[in-house]
């Protein structure tokens, strides 16, 4: 890693290698890059054997040389012969080496070499493997030193003191050895893998009655050092160093991302990848980011780095190529703009971010050529989002979908994941069947083994092929719609997806609540988890815990009273339509996007509006001004017809986001508690509310800023086509209040 860059700098450095402590692979790479490699042995004499000398040659240069171990006084008549060498000491003494060219002397030398090789029979192991091997031998003798455990935890699991304390309590030496057996390369497992393993150990220890409902895990881990190996072997190290400077942080990110996407893995790493794939066979797997900084206290990195499904179909060669592409995609995601912006937000710009990789078997069942779990989602031990004032925030909340859990963490198109308060899990937030149907899940995320790809399928197209027991678990019948169809002589069964059957299973919901409460208690902090649920026709279920991390909820606000202000000074007044803690904040800038103009804007051009939001965000960055974004429909959606498809990087500097419904264009907000976007807003301290077209919006004055100067043409003079859609104003004395306890929200002139 070092020598090529020293060579470019025209400088010299000396690196000692201890014999037998480094694998043959490591020494071979050093031999390839160094200019001078000397093999040194010590017996009755000291021997120096040049193995590689760059750009020099003499007839006896590569023979062993020897000298007496007794240092000689330095004299002026140094040995200048080409068959001799001299090493000077700071003391003024020197070693004088002579070529070993006599038969007896050569015999003694190779006898010493043979003895040394016999001591190092295990040089196929690197120092990391050798350390674990010695630790295992120590444990088998009935010993396991505290220092050994400390080294294992610090080098492999985490450097966070709070997590280390929990690991020492719940892990046994056997657990450390098992995870090493499933590790490719050395270094750390990363935050995501560490959180998953720790949560499972906590549950198995504190809630042994839950074990019968838990799927075993057989994950593999690609150590963080492999990330550096990949960078170095693909000549990306210099670019990485340049990217870590202030000037190159964004400027060099694109070049490094492209380099990471197009590199190749060293042969020894590829061979270990093959063995991993041989273990999983053709079972679908997911390749997930597990970086140094991910899933720690205060830094979730929710959705910042990629996770890639490998359906794992095809020939061994095809599966290996797909797997390598997935790992490269995860590596390259460290240079995504949203990830870079997030690191700046969290004060981590200069922190070392090595990427480990967690490889997990996808939990699910086959339904024809489609593979997916019955349900999946995320869970929270504490929820500040209460659609009913009587709800207990500490009861726990689930966000659950049928199929793969991607629809639970993303902002899906035309879909509504089910929100579940575990105090009353089977009670819907909607009163009527019509509303439950309207705000239900429409599509299922699956793995298509025939197409060898991740896919989304309309649930209506699958209903007839799904078994009845499955439909009863995740769907409901809309009898009102069936009666209406019957009156039109078009009767058919009408199903809609809400996961109601699963949520009526008190064993499942009770267990999930116990898990969340237990993890919350042990962590001493609210947590969120990712999980899957699989069912069979007999009603049995198993849960797989995929992830656990400390949940950042923001500080508890102190606002207890919303002021009374006249209607003419009120911008909007809401009930039960904001999320987050109590807050009082002055608003310096309001950015409004007209819903009707956005609706009429060409579909393929709608992403330009997201770029314009990013431009306004960049304009006000560093000014200290609080900026409120008023946007139609769902912010950050992947479907531009539902709202402006901004990334977190494009809104990272705003102090608040308000989603606005508009019956002129049909846009509907969705306060998507539990999505990655929501977690981003919470961690960045961005408040989040919605203006609905119903009783929850007590007052909204669309013309509140009429007559004020629109600054958008000045901020974005090159975006004339958006002048009628965007409006940026800087009002005086505008404030935002939110009271978490009463659910009341107000924005207006103080």
pLDDT tens, position by position, 709-750:
999 999 999 999 999 999 999 999 999 998 877 888 999 998
Which pLDDT band holds residue 454 (cuts at 50, 70, 90)?
A: very high
Cα–Cα distances (Å) from 743 to 401, 562, 722, 737, in that order, read: 27, 10, 35, 11
Q: Is the pLDDT of residue 547 over 50?
A: yes
Q: What is the pLDDT of residues 86-142, one digit of tens each?
A: 555 555 567 788 898 888 888 888 888 888 776 765 555 667 777 888 888 888 888
pLDDT of residue 541: 94
Residue with tokens 């039109």, as numbered in its chain: 488
pLDDT category, 429, cuts 50, 70, 90? confident
Residue 73, burial from CB neighbour count under 10 angstroms (0-12, 13-18, 19+): exposed
pLDDT at 80: 41
| pLDDT band per the 50, 70, 90 thresholds, residue 287 | very high
The three-state secondary structure class of 67 is strand
The closest of 512, 521, 511, 476 to 494, measured between CA atoms, is 476
Q: Does residue 451 have a pLDDT over 60?
A: yes
Predicted local confidence at residue 55, as pLDDT: 81
State how far the Cα of 19 lies from the Cα of 38, in Å rounded to an integer. 12
pLDDT greater than 80 at residue 9 = no
> How confident is the model at residue 459, as a pLDDT?
92
Residue, of 649 and 552, whose pLDDT is higher? 649
Q: How does pLDDT run across 257-275, given as a tens digit for each residue? A: 999 999 999 988 999 999 9
Q: Of 18 and 569, which is predicted with more confidence?
A: 569
State residue 123's pLDDT score: 53
pLDDT at 385: 67
Q: Classify strands 627-632 and 589-593 as parallel, antiparallel or unpaired.
A: parallel
Give the Å distances, CA to CA, from 9 to 233, 242, 247. Answer: 19, 15, 21
Residue 285 pairs in a beta bridge with 310, 361
Classify residue 588 as exposed, middle or buried by CB count within 10 Å of its CB (0-12, 13-18, 19+). middle
User: Beta strand pairing status for 220-222 and 183-184?
Assistant: parallel
Question: What is the rounded CA–CA span in Å between residue 553 and residue 527?
Answer: 9
Q: Judge contact between 312 and 286, C-beta under 8 A.
A: no
| Token duo for residue 633 | 């429909």
Burial class (CB in 10 A: 0-12, 13-18, 19+), 461: exposed
Determine how many CB atoms are found less than 10 A away from the CB of residue 704. 20
- pLDDT at residue 516 above 70? yes
* Arithmetic mean of pLDDT, 617-626: 91
Whose CA is closest to 39, among 94, 121, 128, 100? 100
User: What is the distance between the alpha carbons of residues 544 and 375, in angstroms, rounded to a whole number?
Assistant: 11
- Please tell me the predicted confidence (pLDDT) of residue 81: 41
pLDDT score recorded for residue 557: 54
Pairing mode, strands 687-691 and 578-579: antiparallel
Average pLDDT over residues 36-50: 87
- Residue 383: pLDDT band (50, 70, 90) is confident
List all residues 6 or more positions away from 256 whose beta carbon is below 8 Å from its beta carbon. Answer: 236, 239, 240, 243, 335
Q: How sure is the predictor about 409, in pLDDT bands with cuts at 50, 70 and 90? A: confident
- Top pLDDT among 81 and 231 is at 231
Q: Count how many Cα atoms sit within 13 Å of the Cα of residue 662 in the half-sphere of its side chain.
A: 23
**Chain Cα centroid distance, residue 147:** 30
- Residues above pLDDT 70, as percent of the chain: 88
pLDDT value, residue 76: 47
Within a 10 A sphere around the Cβ of 681, how many other Cβ atoms?
Answer: 24
The torsion region of residue 19 among left (phi > 0), alpha (psi -120 to 50) and beta comes to beta
Whether 697 shows a pLDDT value over 60: the answer reads yes
Q: Grade residue 79 by pLDDT with cuts at 50, 70 and 90.
A: very low
User: What pLDDT was estimated at residue 78?
Assistant: 43
CB 184 within 8 A of CB 273: yes
Judge whether residue 246 has pLDDT over 80.
yes
Q: Is the pLDDT of residue 417 over 90?
A: no
- Mean pLDDT score of the chain: 85
**Tokens for 639?**
């479907």
Structure confidence at residue 722 (pLDDT)? 95
Strands 370-372, 443-448: pairing kind: antiparallel
Range scoring the smallest mean pLDDT among 175-189, 237-251, 541-555, 556-570: 556-570
Do 241 and 232 form a contact (C-beta atoms < 8 A)?
no
> Where residue 369 falls among pLDDT bands split at 50, 70, 90?
very high
Q: Among 30-34, 337-341, 451-455, 696-700, which stretch is predicted with the lowest mean pLDDT? A: 30-34
Structure tokens at 407: 């629809």
Cα–Cα distance measured from residue 300 to residue 342, given in angstroms and rounded to the nearest whole number:
10
Spatial contact of 661 and 690, defined as CB atoms under 8 Å apart: yes
pLDDT for 92: 56
Query: What pTM was estimated for this model as a whole?
Result: 0.77
DSSP 296: B
| List of residues 6+ apart from 81 with CB closer than 8 A | none
Tell me how far apart the alpha carbons of residues 687 and 555 are, in angstroms, rounded to a whole number.
Answer: 12
Is pLDDT at 298 greater than 60 in this prediction?
no
């Amino acid at each position: 890693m070092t020598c090529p860059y020293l060579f470019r700098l025209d400088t010299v450095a000396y690196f000692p290698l201890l014999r037998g402590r480094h694998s043959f692979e490591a020494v071979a790479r050093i031999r390839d890059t160094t200019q001078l490699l000397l093999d040194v042995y010590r017996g009755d004499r000291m021997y120096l054997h040049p193995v590689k000398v760059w750009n020099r040659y003499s007839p006896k240069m590569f023979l062993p040389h020897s000298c007496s171990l007794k240092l000689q006084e330095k004299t002026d008549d140094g040995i200048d012969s080409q068959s001799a060498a001299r090493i000077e000491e700071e003391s003024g003494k020197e070693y004088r080496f002579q070529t070993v060219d006599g038969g007896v002397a050569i015999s003694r030398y190779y006898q010493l070499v043979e003895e040394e090789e016999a001591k190092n029979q295990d040089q196929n192991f690197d120092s990391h493997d050798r350390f674990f091997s010695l630790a295992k031998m120590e444990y088998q003798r009935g010993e396991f030193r505290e220092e050994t455990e400390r080294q294992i935890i610090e080098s492999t699991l985490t450097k966070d003191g709070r997590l280390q304390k929990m690991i020492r309590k719940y892990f046994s030496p056997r657990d450390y050895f098992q995870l090493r057996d499933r590790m490719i390369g050395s270094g750390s497992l990363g935050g995501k893998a560490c959180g998953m393993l720790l949560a499972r150990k906590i549950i198995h220890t504190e809630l042994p009655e839950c074990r019968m409902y838990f799927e075993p895990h057989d994950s593999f881990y690609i150590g963080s050092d492999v990330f550096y190996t990949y960078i170095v072997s693909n000549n990306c190290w210099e670019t990485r160093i340049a990217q870590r400077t202030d000037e190159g942080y964004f400027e060099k990110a694109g070049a490094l991302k492209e380099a990471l996407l197009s590199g190749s893995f060293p042969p020894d790493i590829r061979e270990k990848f093959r063995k991993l794939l041989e273990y999983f066979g053709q079972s679908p797997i997911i390749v997930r980011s597990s970086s140094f900084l991910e899933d720690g206290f205060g830094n979730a990195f929710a959705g910042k780095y990629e996770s890639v499904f490998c359906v794992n179909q095809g020939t061994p060669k095809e599966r290996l190529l797909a797997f390598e592409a997935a790992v490269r995609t995860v590596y390259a995601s460290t240079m995504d703009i949203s990830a870079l912006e997030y690191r700046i937000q969290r004060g981590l710009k200069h922190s070392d971010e090595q990427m480990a990789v967690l490889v997990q078997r996808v939990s699910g069942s086959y339904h024809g050529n489609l593979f997916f779990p019955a349900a999946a989602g995320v869970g929270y031990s504490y929820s500040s989002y209460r659609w009913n004032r009587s709800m207990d925030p500490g009861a726990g909340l689930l966000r659950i979908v049928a199929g793969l859990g991607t629809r639970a963490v993303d902002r899906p198109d035309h879909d509504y994941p089910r929100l579940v308060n575990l105090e009353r899990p089977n009670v819907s937030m909607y009163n009527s069947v019509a509303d439950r149907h309207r705000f239900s899940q429409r599509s299922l995320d699956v793995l298509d083994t025939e197409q060898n790809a991740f896919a989304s399928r309309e649930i209506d197209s699958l209903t007839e092929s799904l078994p009845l027991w499955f439909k009863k678990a995740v769907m409901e019948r809309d009898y009102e719609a069936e009666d209406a169809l019957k009156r039109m002589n078009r009767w058919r069964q009408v199903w809609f997806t809400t996961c109601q059957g699963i949520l009526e299973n008190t064993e499942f919901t009770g267990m999930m609540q116990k898990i969340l409460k237990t993890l919350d208690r042990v962590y001493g902090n609210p947590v969120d988890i990712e999980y899957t649920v699989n069912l069979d026709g007999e009603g049995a279920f198993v849960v797989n815990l995929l992830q656990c991390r400390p949940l950042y909820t923001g500080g508890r606000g102190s606002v207890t009273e919303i002021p009374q202000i006249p209607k003419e000074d009120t911008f909007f007044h809401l009930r039960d339509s904001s999320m987050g803690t109590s807050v009082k904040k002055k608003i310096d800038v309001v950015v409004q996007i007209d819903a009707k103009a956005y609706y009429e804007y060409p579909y393929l051009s709608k992403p330009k509006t997201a770029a314009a939001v990013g431009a306004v965000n960049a304009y006000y960055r560093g000014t200290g001004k609080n900026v409120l974004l008023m946007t139609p429909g769902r912010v950050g959606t992947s479907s531009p017809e539902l709202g402006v498809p901004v990334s977190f990087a494009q809104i990272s500097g705003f102090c608040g986001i308000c989603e606005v419904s508009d019956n002129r264009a049909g846009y509907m907000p969705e306060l998507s508690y539990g999505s990655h976007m929501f977690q981003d807003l919470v961690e960045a301290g961005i408040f989040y509310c919605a203006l609905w077209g119903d009783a929850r919006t007590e007052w909204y004055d669309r013309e509140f800023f009429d007559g004020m100067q629109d600054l958008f043409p000045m901020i974005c003079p090159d975006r004339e086509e958006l002048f009628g859609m965007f409006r940026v104003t800087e009002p005086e004395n505008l404030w935002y209040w939110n009271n978490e306890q009463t659910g009341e929200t107000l924005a207006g002139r103080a």
